[in-house]
Amino acid sequence: MMRDLRVLGLATAAFVLALDQVTKQIALSSLASGVAVPITPFFTVRLGFNEGVSFGMFADWFSGRPLILAAIMMGIIVLLAVWLWRTRKRPQALALGAILGGALSNVLDRLRIGAVVDYLDFHAWDHHWPAFNFADAAIVCGVVILVLGDIMGRPNDQGGQRELR
């Protein structure tokens, strides 16, 4: 059972990593930096580069220091991989795989070009959500699954704790 969950988590990570890298290569080869290409009234593709953490936080501090942030992220990735290796829950394996694949893809960007490639730009009127990429979306979805799995699990045989299967 645990072996199947490990395979599921690693396959999810590989899928997210591959899909994110392909979409980033498409963005890099077909978009000019900062030029908006409207898709719908609320969605634009726009090539950008994030030197910070989520939503560009701490970009000033990490600017020009991609290896420091990549090293921090690799430490977190190792901890998540250990968690995946020990999990006994299918939703948790999927969620951890999505987070791992997204995090690995963003680390690869930092090592390769010094920043994370962003291209998805959602907005309402003049209010823009920070640009992001498929890896970021996979990470957020993975975290949501982990949180919901903890909140909405079902009772198991271990003293009232709850788990999803």
pLDDT tens by residue, 134-149:
999 999 999 999 999 8
Is the model's pLDDT at 38 over the cut of 80?
A: yes
Domain assignment present for residue 110? The answer is yes
User: Catalytic pick from 4, 136, 150, 157?
Assistant: 136
The residue segments making up the domain with residue 54 are 2-154
> Taking Cα atoms as reference points, which of 113, 99, 94, 104 lies closest to residue 48?
113
Three-state SS at 161:
coil
Give residue 34's pLDDT band: very low, low, confident or very high (50, 70, 90).
Answer: confident
Cβ–Cβ under 8 Å, residues 24 and 113 = no
165 located within any domain: no
Do the domain assignments include residue 63? Answer: yes
Across 22-38, average pLDDT: 94
Q: Could you confirm whether 121 is annotated as catalytic?
A: no
Residue 79 resides in a domain: yes
User: Among candidates 117, 98, 116, 119, which has minimal Cα distance to 44?
Assistant: 119
Determine whether 150 is an active site residue.
no
- 58 falls within a domain: yes
User: Does residue 26 lie within any of the structural domains?
Assistant: yes
The residue annotated as part of the active site, out of 20, 109, 118, 121, is: 118
Q: Is position 147 within any domain? A: yes
Please check the confidence at residue 51 and state whether its pLDDT lies above 80: yes
Query: Which tens digit of pLDDT belongs to each residue from 75-86?
Result: 999 999 999 999
Q: How far is CA 160 from CA 22, 93, 143, 155, in A?
A: 44, 22, 23, 5
Residue whose structure tokens are 């991989």: 81
Instruction: Enter the pTM of the model.
Output: 0.86
Number of domains in the chain: 1
In this prediction, residues 9-38 reach a mean pLDDT of: 96
Residue 164 placed within a domain: no
Bigger pLDDT: 59 or 124? 124
